[in-house]
Every structure is written in C-alpha cells, then in structure tokens.
Amino acid sequence: MGRDTLRPMSKNGDVMRKLLLIIILLLNCSKQEKGINCIVLLDYSASLPDEEFDKYVGMFRQGLLKQMSYDDRMVLIPIDKASEMKNEIIGECHFVDLKKQLSKNIPPFQVLSEADTVIARFQRTLDTLFQHEIYYFRDQRKKFNVETDIIGSLNQATSYLTHSENAIFIFSDMIQESAEANLKRLTTKAAIDKKIIELKETAQIPDLKNCLIFVCGATEKSKQNYRLNKYFWTSFFENTNASLRDYGYGNADRIAVFLKKL
C-alpha cells in the first residue's frame, strides 16, 4: 500500500519538473537580445591624411550609422598606438535610450503622428551623433597616432561582446604597423604565416567567436601589397573564430544589405 501511494507522487514530480523546464526555456527565450551589437573601430593613425580620414568618417556615418534602429547599440573604439593600453572609447549609444528622450515634449495637434515625430527626430539626431566626439577625440590622441594597432583595438573590442552575435566594423586602411606586427615588413605569405603563429603563441589573437567582421577602407599602394594584407587579415580572423564577411574600400554601400542578413 505504501508503494501504491508513492507512485502518483513520482508522476506528479515528473510533471512538475517538465513544467519547470518549460518555464526556464521560455524565460531564456524572452531574455535574448534584440537588435545588433555594433562595435566600430576607427583608424586614428597619422598615416591617414585628413581628407582620407574624412572619407572614413563619411563611410561610417552614411553606410552604418544611418542604418541603426532603436533596438541596436554601438560603441566606437579608436585605432592607434594606445587603444588597448588606455582602453578608452570615442563614444557609445544604446539607441533605445535615444527613443525615450526623443519621445518627450511632443506638441499636440501637429501634422505628424507621435510615432512619426519620434522617427523624424531620430533621423535628425543620427545626422550629428558622434560627430563632435570623433574629431575631438582624434585631436586629443595625436601623441598616439604614430602607430596603427588594429590588433590592439580588436583585443579591446572583446570587452563589448555583449550579444550572442556581434558585428565588428573596421574603418581603416588595414595596414597594421606596430612593434608586434608590421605589415610593411611582411612581404611574403610565408612571413605572414610565421607572424600569425607568433601572435598565437604570445596570446595576441583575441577570441571573437560569434563575431561578424566588415572591413571598410582597406587599401594599399600596390595590388600585391593589398593582396598580402588581405591574406594576413583573412588568416588572422580565422584564428579568432570570427567570420570575415566583407573586405574592401568603397564598400560602405553594402553595409545595409549586410545588416539585414543578421
């Protein structure tokens, strides 16, 4: 008789465990991040003339920033000698916070609806967002612009990998010039392969799992050097466990399509 009374209790326990498991799964699904976590690396090195730097800023603003929605977030990291050591950022924004601010003080009886008014305000805000910070920060860090440490910036970027999927945008000529790796001196694929091994052994290649990489602005003085640089970065990102989705110069117009696929 004692055993008979225990059996229904065991079944009830199984049912409760299954219900608890379902609740946990539902809670986990509800906690999944919305939007895109964009990490932007911007080249501050002295090798970029002001005119070329302005082009990179323009590609960032028109190609990427104008595509942002309220669900997205963004952080801007400088590429120079001290990016990883100083661990400073140009700026960051959770765009949902902008929506809250832009929803305030909407006058009644206007032509646009409240929702359309907020959208219009959001677009106007994106026209100037980060503009001052980008140029002010560049002036403040001129003493660090003698090197181009993209690898250091990527290591810094790991602190901002907050989502299950992250998009890293690099606006740079992609010519790494630092004590750890100088692409001006790596003139063969064999030399590049050796350098990649060295970077792995010295723990300088970050883990960028679940990251999609979009490079905008990559260039060089010759086709051969461009191909060697691309070979280096293709190998480098393979070792970070990231996925290099685009690599070029005038490819900012492809960012919108790239974002839609995320």
pTM, two decimals, is 0.84
> How large a percentage of the chain has pLDDT more than 90?
73
Check pLDDT > 50 for residue 1.
no
Report the alpha-carbon distance of residue 98 to residue 118 in Å, rounded: 10
Check pLDDT > 50 for residue 196.
yes
Query: DSSP letter string over 129-188?
Result: TTHHHHHHHHHHTGGGTTSB-HHHHHHHHGGG--SSSEEEEEES----BSSS-BTTS--S
Residues 51-106 pLDDT 10s:
999 999 999 999 999 999 999 999 999 999 998 888 899 999 999 998 888 888 77
Domain spans, the chain? 1-32, 33-260
- Cβ neighbours of residue 207 closer than 8 Å, sequence gap 6 or more: 158, 240, 241
pLDDT score recorded for residue 252: 97
With cut-offs at 50, 70 and 90, classify the pLDDT of residue 7: very low
Residues 137-156 pLDDT 10s:
999 999 999 999 999 999 99
According to DSSP H, which parts of the chain are helical? 2-30, 50-59, 83-86, 95-102, 114-128, 131-140, 150-157, 189-201, 223-240, 255-260
Of the candidates 171, 157, 38, the residue with the CA atom closest to the CA atom of residue 95: 38
Q: Which residues pair with 75 in a beta bridge?
A: 39, 92
pLDDT score recorded for residue 111: 62
Residue with tokens 């001290």: 82
Check pLDDT > 60 for residue 209.
yes
> Which amino acid does the sequence have at 236?
F
Instruction: Name the CATH topology of 33-260.
Output: Rossmann fold (3.40.50)
Q: How far is CA 127 from CA 17, 61, 83, 236, in A?
A: 52, 8, 26, 34
Residues 160-195 pLDDT 10s:
998 888 999 999 999 999 999 999 999 999 999 999
